[in-house]
Amino acid sequence: MTFSTIAQAAEALAAGRTTSVALVEEALARIADPAGEGARAFIAVQADAARGAARAMDALRAAGRAASPWAGIPISIKDLYDQAGVVTRGGSVALDDAPAARATAPSVARLERAGFVVLGRTNMTEFAFSGLGVNPHYGTPRSPWDRATGRLPGGSSSGAAVATADGMGFAGLGSDTGGSCRIPAALCGIVGWKPTARRVPLTGTLPLSFTLDSLGPLARSVACCALLDSLMAGEEAWQPAPVPPVAGLRLGVLQGYVTEGWDATVAATFERALSRLSAAGARIERLEVPELAEIPAAMSKANFAASEAWAWHRDLVARKAAAYDPRILARIRRGEAMTAADYIELTQARARIIAAIAPRTAAFDAVVMPTCPLVPPALSEVEEEAEYGRINLLLLRNPTVANFLDRCAISLPCHAAGEAPVGFMLMGETMGDARLLAVARAVEAALA
């Protein structure tokens, strides 16, 4: 028996129509299926631990002692979250000989306290430094769409997206520095959530950018993401905000900077979604935000990811450079040439751009745009270095806006069944997470 969402699984558990053991075994069977993507979606499958946890959750539920309604539901975690006794590799082989983590990341531990069962650690772009999802060490999992061709899953949370889309757990924990939850969600046809960065503690996670890193889930509904986000943020008494009616929602459609390079499928699918929302009563307004075009100039001499990654990686690079994917190593090494003055100028420019854009978007319930301007490219398209870089920058461009502006954002699918996946991204205000999730649930229902 298959359940799409966490709420559906929780209802079936409460009614006795399924067990945690059954849910875990179904997920493990999908991971192990040689015809599927499990071998590439997961770096480590923790089958014995997951089965033991599932049996424990079933026993607790039978005794009336279940930790939460969600106890026993299987999920996965990206290979940059610490688990006590496990080496955190970050999708790399450069950390194979690193010591095991002493403690589990708080964001994971909070979910385990609620009874969620961790199936294992999902694949990712090495050290989270690309939006494509390519990993030469562990293989590249393929997007669910057009598997015969073999298409990019998006990154860096590639395995989390593919696993969730293919039923290998009900959700996957990812991270988002410039779109790493939302890009793979868009390319795999699921929902990806990026909270305001400060809401979920980064403790116990391998960093890319201390400034931009955000921890969020990928799942099959907005409600699933909202639940997991609340627990990861420590809001144990959380209640979802009321879902507003679509009629009357004011949605600002970003123009200019984020509109270049759309392929025809993305453009048509996104405009169709806007038409459906307008027909449901949403107020669709084209929104000019000229300051967005200043972002590339602000990052011309320095960027947070490269400079902060270099600060973390430089000692490891000195010892293990040959173990890195050369394309990732080149991106990290760019930080070596960035000066303290460059970095300070960037932080000042960011503050100025944030302040200038805030009043332009304050009156909208959400700002919207396509998550990515492309449908999933074929893996073969990024074999050449020039195309790897060009397509990577295109996929990152729109999602990075929310990270740079220190805001929350979500990608949800807006294509019809059988069509190429297209993500519809909504961006909220800084710390406006609860409101944006409620708006996203309304939009999700209207587009269903």
Is 13 in contact with 57 (CB distance < 8 Å)?
no
- DSSP lists the bridge partners of residue 118 as 75
Peptide bond into 4 cis (omega under 30): no
CB-hemisphere CA count at 13 Å for 195?
27
Residue 158 falls in the annotated catalytic set:
no
Identify the three-state secondary structure at position 255.
coil
Residue 175 falls in the annotated catalytic set:
no
Identify the three-state secondary structure at position 46.
coil
* From 76, 143, 180, 230, active-site residue: 180
**147 alpha carbon, distance to own chain's centre:** 21
* From 92, 130, 156, 157, active-site residue: 156
User: Which one-letter DSSP state was computed for residue 378?
Assistant: B
Identify the three-state secondary structure at position 2.
coil
Token pair, residue 74, equals 């299987």
In angstroms, the Cα distances linking 306 to 13, 309, 386, 397, 404 are 45, 5, 19, 16, 14
Order the strands of the 423-427 sheet from edge to edge.
Answer: 42-45, 117-122, 74-78, 171-176, 214-219, 191-194, 409-413, 423-427, 366-370, 250-254, 283-287
User: Which one-letter DSSP state was computed for residue 81?
Assistant: B
How many helices (DSSP H) and strands (DSSP E) are in the chain? Answer: 15, 11
Residue 180 falls in the annotated catalytic set:
yes
Active site residue ranges: 78, 156, 180
